[in-house]
Structure 1
Amino acid sequence: MRDVAHVTSLRRPTQNVSDVTRQAASGEEKRSTGQEMFWFIVFLLIPAEFITSKFASTAEVCTKIKASTCQECIQSGPHCSWCKKVNFTKAGESDSVRCDTTNNLVSLGCDINDIIDPISEILFEDPQPLDEKVQLTPKQIELQLRPGETGEFEVKFRRAEGYPVDLYYLMDLSYSMNDDLQNVKKLGNQLLIALNGITKSAHIGFGSFVDKTVLPFVSTHPEQLRHPCTNKTVPCQPPFSFKHILKLTDDGDKFIQQVGMQQISGNLDSPEGGLDAMMQVAVCGDKIGWRNVTRLLVYATDDGFHIAGDGKLAAILTPNNGACHLEDNMYKKSNEFDYPSVGQLAQKLSENNIQVVFAVTSNMIKTYQGLSNLIPKSVVGGLSSDSSNVVQLITEAYQNLSSEVILDHGITPDFLDIIYDSYCSNGVNFTNTVRGVCSNVKINEQITFKVKVTAKKCLPDNSFSIRALGFTDTVKVSVITACDCKCEDAFDSKACNSNGKTVCGICSCNKGYLGKNCECVAGSKTSQELDQNCKKENGSAVCSGAGECICGQCICNTNDDPAKKIFGQYCECDNWNCEMFEGKVCAGVGTCDCGTCICSPGFDGSACQCKRSTDRCKTQGSICSGRGECECNKCNCKGGYIAPFCKTCPGCPSACPRFGPCVECHIKQEGQNSGNCTKICPGARVMKVEEVTEEPFCREKDSDNCWMQYYLYEEDGVDNFSIRYTLKRECPEAPNMYAIVGGTIAGVLLLGLICLGIWKIVTEITDRKEYQRFQKEMQHVKWGKGENPIFTTATTTVQNPNFDEDGE
C-alpha cells in the first residue's frame, strides 16, 4: 500500500512550476513572433533559481521516433513529455508534435498544466530504527521509475554488538587429516566459549566429507571399501561423500560426544569432494539447523577440491542441480550428480547468507585464496598441521568478515541496472560500483549507501532484495515503471465533432467514425489507412506537413498572403520555394512551379537569371557545334567536349581505329560499287584524294598488315565525320625463306663447332695438368729391391730337347 506522506521526487526539479508560468503559458494559443517576445518577458520575471532548475537544462533532448500516442511518447526517453491540450496541433501536423521536451512544448504554447511528464520517485518507504536487532534500513521501499531515468534512495547500515552466530564445522576426514580429527574432537566447549565472547548467542554443528565413492576417486574393491586406510591398525570407516553429523546446537558437550565418535576414512586421489559437501550444507537449511542470524561455515582440509566437470572421469554427466539431497543425514546421490561449479556454489552461499572460513594448511593457502576471490564474504586462514590453532583462526576470521560490509542485490532482470555509491566511516568512498562495499566497519558504526536504479525499458511490476552479505537484514525494493499516461480530459462535445471524446488530447472516435477529429464516417478503411492515402511515401508526413488529411484527401493550408499558395495531391508543392537570383524568386521574370522556375519568353537559366541569346555559343557552325546546349549564352557541352564551342574532346578516345575498316573497304572496293561500305561507315562522308596533306592524319593497319593513311575531321553534331583517304598503302616485303632457313642451319652448325672446340680445349688442359702431377709424384718415389721371403725356386728343371735358343 502506498504511503502518500512519503512521496519524494527523485528527479531534477523540472516539475515545480510557478503560478506565474502557468498563467502565462495558459494565455497563449498561437505560436508567433509576438508569443516568443511575450515568453522572453515572462522568463525575465521568473526567479533565477526557478529558471536554473526548470529551463536551463539545455542538454535535455527528447529522441522521439514519431510517437503518435502519449504512451509511445513517454516511453521514448526520460526527457519526453506529452501535451494533452486539445487542438494543440495545426492543420496537417502530426500528433507526434505533441511529444517533445517540456521546455519546447511550453515554448510552442502548451499550458504547463496540460503537459504529462511522469517522474521517477519514491512512492513508499518503511524506515526502521537501527538497534541491536536491526542493522539495515529501510525495511521496504516502493520505487516508481521512468524508463531511462535513474531513481535514487539511501540505505543505512550499523554493525550491532553481540549479534547471534551459527557456526558449522565441515571437516575433511581423508586419511591425512587423522591427527587433526583428534584435536577437533576436543573443540566443542572451546569453540562455544570463544564465540560467546563475541556474541550473545552461538550455535555450533559438525559435518564431514571425503569424496564420491566411485573410481577413480575411491577404490571400489570390497576390502578397500570396508577399510580404505593404508594403515590397517588405525580405526577407519568406509568412504562417503558428505555426512551431516551434528545439527547446530549450543551444547558443547554434545559436540564433543558426536565428533568423538567419528573415525577417519580414505580415498585415492588428492583433491577431495568438499564442494559437494558445501553445497549440501548451504541448501539443506532445515536439516543443518541454520537460524536467521550470522552464518559461518568453517571448511577444514589439507588438500585441494574437485570442481564441475571432474565427474566425467567417473562417467557422471548430470550437472549438479543445487538441491538438497540429504537422506538419513547422508548425501546419497553423490554418484548421480557432478560436482558443483564454483559460480553455482557462490550463488547458493550468497542466497543463503553463509560466510565461509577456509581453514587450510600452509601448502593450500594460495589455492584457496583463489577460490575465496570467487566467493563473496569468504576468508582463508592458515591451519596448523594438527588443527591446534583452529579456535584462534575462527575468531580472527569472524572479526574480519564482520567488519566488511558488502551490499548486494542478487540476480535481477537484464534491463534493470543497479549501482551503488558507498560512503564509509573511514573516509573512503566508492562510486558507481556493482556492489556497495565498506571495510573495517567497527561495532555501532553507521555507514550509508546510495542505491541508483535504472529501468532500461517498461517492465511488469518487479521486486528485488538488497542485503548485507553475511547479515540477515534485507531491504525489499518494489519497482513500478511509469509507462502509462493518466490523463483526465475535460469533456468537450465540440472537440471531436460530437462523435467521440478526447484521450490525452487526441480524439478517440465512437464506433462508425474515423479521422483526426472523428469527422469521417467509417467505411471499409481504417483511420490509419485513410491517413496513408495522404502520404506521398511511407515515411513522409501526412499531407507533407502542409495540409490536413480529411477522410483520405489532403486539404492544403492557406496563407495570409494570397500570392502564396500550397498545392499538389499531397500538398507537396508551393509557388515560392524556387531558386532565387538577386533576392527574387526566379529572378522576378518567371513563375515558381513546385520547385522549378518557368521562365518568361526571352529568359533562361535555372533561376531565369539570363537573357535568352546564342551569340556566344556559335562561330560559323551550329550552336555549340551540335554537341551541347546554350544556357545563359554559354555552351554547356556534352560528354567530354569543352567550351567555348564544344569542338574538341581531350578526354575522348581517338576515332582513328574506329574508321580503319571503313577506309580499308573503300580502298579495296575502288572501281567497284563502294556502296557496300556504307554499313561499316555510319555517320561518315568518305572522299578519295591523291595525297593526305592535313595534319594530324590517321595511320592504321589493314587486314593485310599494310599501313593506310587518311584524314579524319569531326563536323558539327554527334558522330558526324568527314574522311579523306588515299589509295597508297605501305605494305611490308615478304620474307626470304631460303635465307632464313639456310642462315638458321648455318648458325646451329657454327654454334655446335664452337661448343666442341671449347670442350676439346678444356679437356686438353685438364689432361696436361693431370700428367704433370703424375710426373711430380714419380720423382719422389724411392724404389727398393728385396728378396721375397716366401719365394722358392723350382726343384726340377726340364730341358726341352727341341728348344732352340736361337729360335730356329
Structure 2
Amino acid sequence: MAPWLCISAVILLMAGEDVLSKEECPKTVVTSCKDCIRTGPFCAWCKKLNFTKQGEPDATRCDTTEALRSRGCENDDIVSPASSYTKLSDRPLSRGSGQNEDPVQLQPQAVRLNLRPGKPVSLRFRFRRVEDYPVDLYYLMDLSYSMKDDLENVKSLGKDLMKALGQITKRARIGFGSFVDKVALPFTNTNPAKVQKPCPEDERVCQPAFGYQHVLSLTDQAEEFNQIVSMQSISGNLDSPEGGLDAIMQAAVCGNKIGWGDSTRLLVFATDDGFHMAGDGKLAAILEPNDGQCHLDKSIYSKSSEMDYPSVGQLAQKLAENNIQPIFAVTQNVAPVYQKLKEMIPKSEVGVLSKNSDNVVRLIETAYKSLSSNVIVTHENLPEDIKVTYTSNCENGGVPGPRGVCNNVGIGKEVEFVVTVTADKCTKEQSFQIGPLGFREKMNITVVTECECVCRDPLNKNDPACGGQGQVTCGTCVCNKDFVGQRCECRMGDKNERDLREACRFNNGSVCSNLGDCVCGLCQCHAGEDGRNIYGRFCECDDRSCPLHHNRLCGGNGKCDCGKCLCHQGYDGEACDCKKSDEACRKGTSVCSGRGNCTCNICHCLPGYKRPFCEECPGCPSPCGKIASCVECLGFNSGPLKENCNSMCSKVKHKVVEALTDKKPCRWKRSDNCWMIYSVKELDGIDNYDVTIQKKLECPKPPDLAAIIGGSFAGVALIGLLLLLILKGIIHMKDLKEFRRFENEKKKAKWTNADNPLFKTATTTVQNPNFSGD
C-alpha cells in the first residue's frame, strides 16, 4: 500500500474517530447558538424561523446535524462551525545550496488554525535538508586530571576537525570550552593552596580549580582554535562525577557569548566520568535551584558555587529550545551512563573515545551523520488546552504519536509529515511552534478557537418575525424592552397577571402542566431532564410518549409527535411497526408460497405452515397417501378416479420416468397388491403438487410350491434329528451321573481293607536263631 494511502486512512480515523463510533450532542442547558456549539463538537444549531413548535424551548434547536435534518432543518439553516486552517507563509523549499542568505528547509512557515473544540484539523508540512547548511561545533572538554592525555591530542585537533566538517559543509565553525566541578566541598578541595593547584605535586602546569569556563567563541579559523586550546592546562577535583551538566547548560543558554549562529548546532561533550545532577548540590549546602539562565562573567560561570546542578529534564528542554544537538564523546567505562542520558535527551548521540581521544574526529563524523539523518519533529510552547499528534510518510510512520520521526534522511531528500491539532476547549488566541529538532526553522502555528455563531441575520430591530418588537438572532427573537415571548408577542403590564396565569391552564389543571413557565399568558416549556422535548399550548406534549417496538420509539421508523407516531414513508401501524412491503414475504415471484397473507412484511401462514415463507408444514400428514389415487389414474390409468382423473387431479402435475433417483420415495399398494413408487414436491398454493412416477410397478411374485414342500420336509427332518440328539444327550448325562454316584459310594466302603482277627493262615514259619544267612 502506498504510504500516503496509509497516512490518509490514519487521518480519517483520527479526525473522525467519534464520527465512526457515535455522534452525540449532550443535552445541557442551552439558551443560544453560542451555548450550543460550546456544548460539544457535534452540536449544531438550527436558525430556521418557526423551527420550534408552540411552547417548545429554543434548546431543541441544538442537536446533531443529522437529527436537525431529520426534523426539517435545511443545510443552509444549520450553524455548525468547522475546524480549518489557512497558510500565512508558504515559501517553497530551497533546492540549491545552503549558502543562500535564507535557505528554506520547512514548508509552510506560518499557519493559522481555526479550531472547533473537540474537532481536530490536519495539515501537511514538508522538510528537506539543503546542501552546505552551516554547522557550528562547540567542543566542551573535561579538564579534570584524568583527562591529561586527552588534552594533548585535542590541542592539535583544529585542522582535523575543520577538514572533517569541510566534507559536510563549506560553512563550518568550531569553538572550545572546559569544565571540572564546583569549587566547594566535597566536590573540590577548598584549601587555598589546593584551589590554586588541584593537581598532584609533581605536575608542573596546572590551572586553578574552576566550574566552567568559555575559552573560544565559534570561529572558522582552525589555527586560532589550535593556538587557544594549546594554551589550556589540566586542573582537578576530589570526587569522580564532574560538573558537566552545569557546563552544558551555560553553553546552551549563553548563545550570544558562545557565538551560536543560524546553523546546525553541535555540542561535543568529552569526558571520562559521570556527572552530578540536581540535588547533589545539597552536599555542599547549595540549595538554590538552577534557574536555566546565562551567568558567564568574563567567560567564567559565576554562579557555580551558588546554584545547584540542573536536572536532566531541565537540560533537555534548554537544548531543544536552542536547537543544540549534544554528542557525548565518553570513555568505555561510562558509556552505559550516557546511553541512558541519550534516551532522555532527544537528538543526541553517544560515541566511545579511545584512551587518549585520538579517535575523536572519526567519532564526531559518525555521530553527526547519525544526528543529521534522523529527523525528529516536535513542538515548542504548546498551550495547555491544545493537543498535537504526528504521522509521516516514512517507514513505520503511519501510527499517530507525540513526535514525527523519519530516519536515514539524506541531504536533498524531502519528507512529509501530517500534524493533527485539537483544541479541548474555547480559549483566547494562542500560538506555538513546530519543527525538526536541531534545526532553527520552525513553523509558527496560531490557534483561534471557533466558539461563536455567525448567522448573518438582517439588522432589523423591529423584525416582523418578532412581532415588530424584536430582532432575529440565529433564528430566535431578542425582544425590545418590555416585550417577552418567543415571538415578542406579549407586552408586560397589558393584562392582569391572574388572567394571564389562567390562560396557561388546561381544563383548570396545573399551570403549563408543571412542565413550563407561564410568560405573559403563554407557556414556555422547560427542556426535559431525560432529553425529552416538551411543547404544546400547555406543555402537554413531548416526543417520548409514543409506543415502542423492539424497544425503539415508533420502531425507529417514525417520529413521535405529542403521543402519536408519525410514520416514515413505507411504514404504518400504531408504533410504525408495519412495513408496507412484501419484500420479506417474497421468495422468487411467490408471496408466502401461496399459503398465507403478507402483513407488515411478515407472512401469516395457514395452520401448520411455518414462517418465513410458509414453505414447510412439520405437523401435516405426508402427501403420499393424499394423492395416491391421482398417481394411480395419472400414471397407470387405473384406480377409483380413472373415469374423472382430469377433473379430480387437475392440480397435480406429473411425469413418468423409468427409475427414480429420490432416496426416500413414496410407496403405495394398489388393490392388486402391486406397489406404486413416486416422489412428491409441494408447489406454491394449496393442494398443488408436482409428482414424478416410476413407470415400473413392484408386484409380489407367486409362491414356489416345490421350494415350499422341499423346505418343509427338510425342516421336519432337521427338527427330528435335533430331537434325537437332544434325547441322546439327556440319557448320556443321566448315565454319567449314576456312574459317578457309584464311584463315590465305593470309596466309602472300609471293610475291604481291614484284617479278620479269626483268620489263621495254613502255614507256620519257624526261624533258626543260629542261621546267619551265609
Task: Say yes or no: TM over 0.5.
Answer: yes
After TM superposition, give the deviation of residue 260 of structure 1 in Å: 0.9
User: One-letter code of the match for 2:408?
Assistant: N
**Residue in structure 1 matching 2:213, options 243, 246, 253:** 243
How far has the Cα of 1:412 moved from its partner? 1.3
Give the deviation of 1:543 after TM superposition.
4.0
Relative distance call for 1:555 and 1:110 in structure 2 (3 A) is closer
Secondary structure of the residue that 1:228 maps to in structure 2?
coil
Residue number in structure 2 paired with 1:551: 520
> Counterpart of 2:403 in structure 1: which amino acid?
R
Deviations 1:450-507 (A, max 9, x none): 1001111111111111111111211111111111011211346222222220111111
CA shift in 2, pair 1:57/1:168, >3 Å: closer
Match of 1:442 in 2: 410
For residue 250 of structure 1, what is the amino acid of its counterpart? Answer: D
**Cα deviation 1:243-283 (Å, max 9, x = unaligned):** 00000000111111111111111101100000001000000
8 Å Cα contact 2:272-2:331 kept in structure 1? yes
Report what 2:71 is aligned to: 108
Which residue matches 1:748?
none
Q: 1:360 to 1:191 in 2, by over 3 A?
A: same
What TM-score comes out, normalization by structure 2 length?
0.62
Question: Equivalent residues in 2 for 1:360-399 (5 A)?
Answer: 360-399=330-369
Provide the TM-score with structure 1 as the length reference: 0.59
Matched position secondary structure for 1:162: coil
Give yes or no for the alignment of 1:509 onto 2:470.
no
Q: Work out whether 1:85 is the aligned partner of 2:77.
A: no
Q: Relative to 1, partners in 2 of residues 1:175 and 1:512: Cα closer, same or farther, differing over 3 Å? A: same
Shift of 1:286: 0.4
Q: In structure 1, what is the equivalent of residue 327 of structure 2?
A: 357
Whether the 8 Å CA contact 2:177–2:216 is kept in 1: the answer is yes
Aligned to 2:237: 267
Q: Residues 551, 421 of structure 1: CA spacing in aligned structure 2 closer, same or farther, 3 A cutoff?
A: same
Aligned-partner SS, 1:75: helix
Query: Is residue 2:167 matched to residue 1:197?
Result: yes
Q: Displacement of 1:115 after TM fit? A: 1.1
Task: Note if contact 1:93-1:548 (Cα within 8 Å) is conserved in structure 2.
Answer: no
Match of 1:486 in 2: 454
Amino acid at match of 1:168: Y
Give aligned-pair identity as a percent: 54
- In the alignment, the residues of structure 2 paired with residue 555 and residue 379 of structure 1 have an alpha-carbon distance, to the nearest angstrom, of 70
**Which amino acid in structure 2 is aligned with residue 437 of structure 1?**
V
| Distance in structure 2 (CA, Å) of the matches to 1:122 and 1:571 | 45
Contact 1:141 1:476 in 2 (8 A): yes
1:572, CA displacement in angstroms? 5.8
Deviation at 1:578, TM superposition (A): 13
Question: By how many angstroms is 1:125 displaced?
Answer: 4.5
Q: Structure 2: any 5+ residue segments left out of the alignment?
A: 1-9, 494-499, 527-533, 548-562, 564-774
Letter in 1 for 2:442: T
Matched, 1:148 2:155: no
Q: Show CA shifts across 1:743-767 (max 9, x none).
A: xxxxxxxxxxxxxxxxxxxxxxxxx
CA RMSD, Structure 1 to Structure 2 (Å): 3.4
Distance 1:460 1:555, change over 3 A: closer
In 1, Cα distance between the equivalents of 2:80 and 2:409? 42
- Letter of the 1:60 partner, please give it: E
Match for residue 61 of structure 2?
A: 98
Residue matched to 1:456: 424
Residue 435 of structure 1 aligns with an amino acid whose one-letter code is R
How far has the Cα of 1:551 moved from its partner?
2.7
Which of residues 428, 433, 438 in structure 2 aligns to 1:470?
438
**1:383 Cα deviation from its structure 2 partner:** 0.6
Q: Is the Cα–Cα contact under 8 Å of residues 397 and 404 in structure 2 kept in the other structure?
A: no
Alignment of 1:533-572 (within 5 A): 543=512, 549-551=518-520, 554=523, 571=539
Of the three residues 374, 399, 403, the one matched with 1:431 is: 399
Residues 272/547 of structure 1: CA separation in 2 closer, same or farther (3 Å cut) = closer
1:58 to 1:320, Cα distance in 2 relative to 1, 3 A? closer
* Residue 69 (structure 1) aligned with residue 32 (structure 2): yes
Distance, in Å, in 2 between the alignment partners of 1:130 and 1:393 is 31
Q: Is the 8 A contact 1:93 1:547 kept in 2?
A: no
Give the 3 Å change call, closer, same or farther, for CA 567–366 of structure 1 in structure 2: closer
Contact 1:165 1:295 in 2 (8 A): yes
CA distance in 1, matches of 2:512, 2:11: 39
Give the conservation status (yes or no) of the 8 Å contact 1:489–1:504: yes
Aligned partners of 1:298 and 1:359 also within 8 Å:
yes
- The AA in structure 1 aligned to 2:40 is G
1:373 maps to a residue whose letter is E
Letter in 1 for 2:444: K
- Rate the CA distance shift 1:546–1:85 in 2: closer, same or farther, 3 A: farther
Q: How big is each residue's C-alpha offset from its partner over 1:651-685, in whole Å with a ceiling of 9 and x where there is no partner? A: xxxxxxxxxxxxxxxxxxxxxxxxxxxxxxxxxxx
Structure 1 residue 544, shift from structure 2 partner: 5.9
Task: Specify the SS of the correspondent of 1:409.
Answer: strand
Q: Deviations over 1:323-354 (max 9, x none)?
A: 00111011011111110000000000000000
Unpaired segments ≥5 residues, structure 1: 1-9, 13-52, 524-529, 536-540, 558-565, 580-594, 596-808
Q: Per the alignment, do residues 340 and 544 of structure 1 end up closer, same or farther by CA in structure 2, a change over 3 Å counting?
A: farther
Deviation at 1:577, TM superposition (A): 8.3
List aligned pairs for 1:639-658, cutoff 5 A: none
Q: Report the alpha carbon displacement of residue 407 of structure 1 after superposing the two structures with TM.
A: 0.2
2-structure distance, mates of 1:365, 1:457 = 46
- Match 1:127 to one of 84, 90, 99: 90
- Note closer, same or farther for the CA distance 1:381–1:86 as it changes in structure 2 (3 Å cut): same
Aligned AA (1:232): D
Deviations 1:126-151 (A, max 9, x none): 32222242221111111111110110
